[in-house]
Chain A
Amino acid sequence: SQQGEEDPQALSIQEGENATMNCSYKTSINNLQWYRQNSGRGLVHLILIRSNEREKHSGRLRVTLDTSKKSSSLLITASRAADTASYFCATDGETSGSRLTFGEGTQLTVNP
């Protein structure tokens, strides 16, 4: 079974707008990562946030983590058509080692 759930399942925005995706998980984690997947191809690592961190930035990406609520959000600012993809959060926990547990993903469509 999946550890996390992404919200929304699908998101459609216009180029230049910001996109926010949320992820919730169930058990204690060591780290939470976000990955992007284009059209059923391999996953591309975007950003990792450790359980003792609350916010992290990488370029146009901003990730927040609230361990008390067991949730994370991914913000993509000034979106581009090339950002169109599925986005997944993945967690690894104290008992699971480096095994990643993925959510169901958010399908983001950025319209030009």
Chain B
Amino acid sequence: DAGVTQSPTHLIKTRGQHVTLRCSPISGHKSVSWYQQVLGQGPQFIFQYYEKEERGRGNFPDRFSARQFPNYSSELNVNALLLGDSALYLCASSLIRVTYEQYFGPGTRLTVT
């Protein structure tokens, strides 16, 4: 079975631009979470979606938004990019909404110049 997939792998954007990151969970997994990992730090929770509804949101500005589709894939959108948004964006899927083990994708490396 395929694991969590994310696209693109790498992305370079300019300040002020908009970016969309994509994630496909493991087949059968209905919950998707997004994390931001700045270089040298641990991941920070951004969003969780379950059954296409937002179930949790971390301490991130409104420039960050996400959605989950009927096939449980998800998009993370970031508007008005700042240099500080440069990070590895990780997607994790899990079988049910409140479950313990999350499976992470390889991440999307976003560089904002």
Contact = CB atoms under 8 A, between A and B. Distances in A.
Contacts of B70: none
B100 A98 contact: yes
A98 B98 contact: yes
A42 B4 CA distance: 10
A46 B98 CA distance: 19
Contact of B41 (A2, A31, A43): A2
B102 A104 contact: no
Given A33-B101, A48-B101, A97-B98, A41 B107 contact: yes
B93 to A, nearest CB: 11
Contact of B42 (A41, A48, A88): A88
Given A40-B109, A41-B107, A42-B107, A98 B42 contact: no
A43 B99 contact: no
Interface residues of A, number: 26
A69 interface: no
Interface residues of B, number: 30
A48 B100 CA distance: 8
Contact of A103 (B42, B99, B107): B42
Contacts of A92: 100
Interface string A62-99: 00000000000000000000000000101010001111
Contacts of B41: 2, 104-105
Contacts of B48: 97-99
Contacts of B64: none
Interface in B25-53: 31, 33, 35, 39, 41-45, 48
Interface of B: 4, 31, 33, 35, 39, 41-45, 48, 55-56, 58, 88, 90, 92, 94, 97-107, 109
Interface of A: 2, 4, 30-31, 33, 35, 40-45, 48, 88, 90, 92, 96-105
> Nearest 6 A-B pairs (CB), nearest first?
A102-B42, A43-B104, A42-B106, A42-B104, A99-B45, A102-B43
12 contacts: A2-B42, A30-B100, A42-B106, A43-B92, A45-B104, A88-B42, A90-B42, A97-B98, A98-B56, A100-B43, A102-B43, A103-B42
